[in-house]
Amino acid sequence: MRHLLDTTDLSLEEIDDMIKLAMDIISDGKKYAHVCDGKKLATLFFEPSTRTRLSFEAAMMELGGNVLGFSEAASSSAAKGESVEDTVRMVSCYADIIAMRHPLEGAPKVSSFKSGVPIINAGDGGHAHPTQTLTDLLTIYREKGRFDNLTVGLCGDLKFGRTVHSLIKAMSRYENVSFVLIAPKELQVPDYIITDVLEPSGAKYVQVEDMESEMPNLDILYMTRIQRERFFSEEEYLKHKDAFILDMPKLENAKQSLTIMHPLPRVNEISTDVDDDPRAKYFIQALNGKYIRMALIISLLKWGGALE
Ligand code: CP
């Protein structure tokens, strides 16, 4: 049985296959309408979500399967003190596959030891969000047709932004990808991303504090929200909350071929007037999340022998 706990659980070949499967689903969704007939997905969300939970549920429904689960810890027996391992052990008796979001880093991994079915990490604290990364990769593939020879700007809260950590891990495995890490010093990527991911990969990277200087070089600009819920004090959050706001004047020197991405939700870091620019792809990115999650559900169930 396979789980998806971090992006690196998948080989590059498996990612390629999943992207191809998602592209086929996009071109002929009807072909997949009964692939998961009789199967159940449980969504165990101990933290708020709109896109990830609902796109997982829509994905399973479009595959002919059913969904069950909860959207907050307060409505589960976690509120009575049940451990996450016990919860997963129970739910794996009721469902064929589980997508879990949890505020504690490593909770999906710990749960996977007790689970009888595949566990998908749908975001664990500030650590990782591998299905967002698959969403991002499908978006990059659809926009650029490749993953290599790209300059990727990541902007905002790079310290707590788990989508950024997962995306760097994924993109640094491809050839000639350069990273521009745009953040205030206090919100730069954790040290392990430099020492354990970027340095060993040999990928070029720069760390800067302003958005405009590197804008003309970027093929992709990945904006992120300042993660209010992960700050230790409101004062610290308020200091950084308006650190970067992408608006049309800031795009003046950007490439016409730039792809602007954001995992969403947006607070104020992208001005709404950018939404109408053809380079803004963040809402299409959210739609891609449903297609790649359909491909992921099929793949994990097949690898586990639950689907032919
Ligand atoms: N991108 C993302 O994880 O969004 P949600 O928090 O709404 O699931």
For the stretch 90-102, pLDDT in tens is 999 999 999 999 9
Reference 127, options 105, 156, 99; nearest CA is: 105
pLDDT at residue 232 tops 90: no
Atom of ligand 1 nearest to the CA of 47: 6
pLDDT at residue 176 tops 90: yes
**Residue 239's pLDDT band (boundaries 50, 70, 90)?**
confident
**R_g over Cα of the chain:** 19
pLDDT at residue 104 tops 90: yes
Q: What is the pLDDT of residues 10-61, one digit of tens each?
A: 999 999 999 999 999 999 999 999 999 999 999 999 999 999 999 999 999 9
**Residue 126's pLDDT band (boundaries 50, 70, 90)?**
confident
Distance from residue 288's CA to the centre of ligand 1 (Å): 13
Q: Is 288 in the pocket of ligand 1 (CB under 6 A)?
A: no
Atom of ligand 1 nearest to the CA of 264: 1
Atom of ligand 1 nearest to the CA of 55: 8
Return the best residue to mutate from 120, 132, 228 for the ligand 1 pocket (most ligand atoms within 8 A of CB): 132
Q: For the chain, where are the E strands, in sequence order?
A: 40-45, 66-70, 97-102, 119-124, 150-155, 177-182, 204-208, 220-223, 259-261
Res 218: pLDDT: 98
CA 258 – CA 246 distance, rounded (Å) = 13
Which amino acid residue places its CA nearest to atom 1 of ligand 1? 263
Q: Is 283 in the pocket of ligand 1 (CB under 6 A)?
A: no
Cα separations (Å) of 285 from 25, 39, 226, 288? 15, 27, 19, 5
* Structure-token pair, residue 8: 């690196």
Distance from residue 129's CA to the centre of ligand 1 (Å): 9
pLDDT at residue 151 tops 90: yes
Distance from residue 12's CA to the centre of ligand 1 (Å): 24
Atom of ligand 1 nearest to the CA of 54: 8
Distance from residue 49's CA to the centre of ligand 1 (Å): 5
Atom of ligand 1 nearest to the CA of 101: 8
Report which DSSP code applies to 198.
I
Q: Is 257 in the pocket of ligand 1 (CB under 6 A)?
A: no
Which amino acid residue places its CA nearest to atom 4 of ligand 1? 51
Reference 138, options 292, 298, 297, 300; nearest CA is: 292
Res 231: pLDDT: 81
Q: Are 59 and 36 a contacting pair, CB within 8 Å?
A: no
Distance from residue 55's CA to the centre of ligand 1 (Å): 10
How high does pLDDT run on average in the chain?
Answer: 96
Q: Is 122 in the pocket of ligand 1 (CB under 6 A)?
A: no
Report field, pTM of the whole predicted structure over 0.85: yes
pLDDT at residue 194 tops 90: yes
Q: What is the mean pLDDT of residues 261-275?
A: 97
* Structure-token pair, residue 274: 């950018």
Distance from residue 258's CA to the centre of ligand 1 (Å): 23
**Residue 72's pLDDT band (boundaries 50, 70, 90)?**
very high
Atom of ligand 1 nearest to the CA of 123: 3
Distance from residue 230's CA to the centre of ligand 1 (Å): 15
Residue, of 234 and 262, whose pLDDT is higher: 262
Give me the residue label for tokens 């049940």: 82
Distance from residue 194's CA to the centre of ligand 1 (Å): 25
Reference 98, options 167, 137, 46, 51; nearest CA is: 46
pLDDT more than 90, % of the chain: 93
Tell the burial category of 234 from Cβ atoms under 10 Å away from its Cβ (0-12, 13-18, 19+): exposed
**Residue 233's pLDDT band (boundaries 50, 70, 90)?**
confident
Q: Give me the helix-helix angle, 282-303 and 12-27, nearest 10°.
A: 110
pLDDT at residue 81 tops 90: yes
